[in-house]
Amino acid sequence: MYKLLFRPLAVEDLPMLHAWILRPHVAEWWEEPSTMEEVRDEYLPIIEGRSSTRAYIASIKDQPIGFIQSYVVQGSGGGWWEDESDPGARGIDQFLVDETRLNQGLGTAMVAAFVERLFADPCVTKVQTDPSPNNRRAIRCYSKVGFKEVGEVVTPDGPAVLMLHERANHRSDHGGTRVAAELQAARGRT
C-alpha cells in the first residue's frame, strides 16, 4: 500500500510550485499568483510562519503528487468569508501536479487524508472548500470525501460553490478506509 505524505512547502520548492501553477490543467482553475515574483510574495510569508495559511507538498514514495493548503477562515481579509465567526473553521485549496493522473481517485485520497489530518486538531470544527461552479470534477471529488454543498457564493475571485465538511459528520475510520481504497484504485490505473 502506498503512503501519502505531506511535508511543509519550503523556499526551494517555489520554482517547482510556479511551474505547476502554470500547467494548463491547474491554471484553468487556480487564480493568482502567476509570475514567480507573485508566487514568492504569496508563499514566502506562509513558509516563514507569518500567515495562518499552511502549505504542503503531497507525495507518494518521494514523488510529489499534489499541492494543498489550509487556512483559518475567520479573518481571511481581502473580502473573503467576512461572515465567518467560528475560529475553528478551516479552508483548503489543492491541485494534483500531473494531468495524466486526474480522474483516478488520487485527489479524493489526497483531500481525505488532509481533512483527516486537520480534524486531528481538536480545535478544528469544520473544513470548507470553494470550487468554481464549473469545476464539476473538483465538486465530485470533494463530495466523495464527504463535503456537502452549502450553495453558491460570490467570492473576490468570482462565483464559487461553498462545500463544507463538519466534524460532526466526520468518521476517522471511514476516512482512513477511503484513503486506502482510493490509493489502491489509483495504483491499479497507473
Positions in the binding site for ligand COA (CB under 6 A): 25-26, 29, 94-96, 102-108, 131, 135-138, 140-141
Q: How far is the CB of 37 from ligand COA (least distance, A)?
A: 22
Q: Which of 148, 63, 59, 61 is nearest to 109 (CA)?
A: 59
Q: How far is CA 174 from CA 63, 73, 156, in A?
A: 26, 25, 34
Q: Which is nearer to ligand COA, 107 or 146 (CB)?
A: 107
Q: Which is nearer to ligand COA, 6 or 29 (CB)?
A: 29
Q: Which is nearer to ligand COA, 82 or 99 (CB)?
A: 99
Q: Which is nearer to ligand COA, 125 or 135 (CB)?
A: 135
Sign of CA dihedral 41, 47, 53, 57: positive
Q: How far is the CB of 122 from ligand COA (least distance, A)?
A: 27
C-alpha cell at 121: 486538531
- In angstroms, the CA 27 to CA 40 distance is 17
Q: How far is the CB of 116 from ligand COA (least distance, A)?
A: 15
Q: How far is the CB of 52 from ligand COA (least distance, A)?
A: 20
Name residues whose C-beta falls within 8 Å of residue 11's C-beta, 6 or more positions apart in sequence: 44, 47
C-alpha cell at 151: 450553495
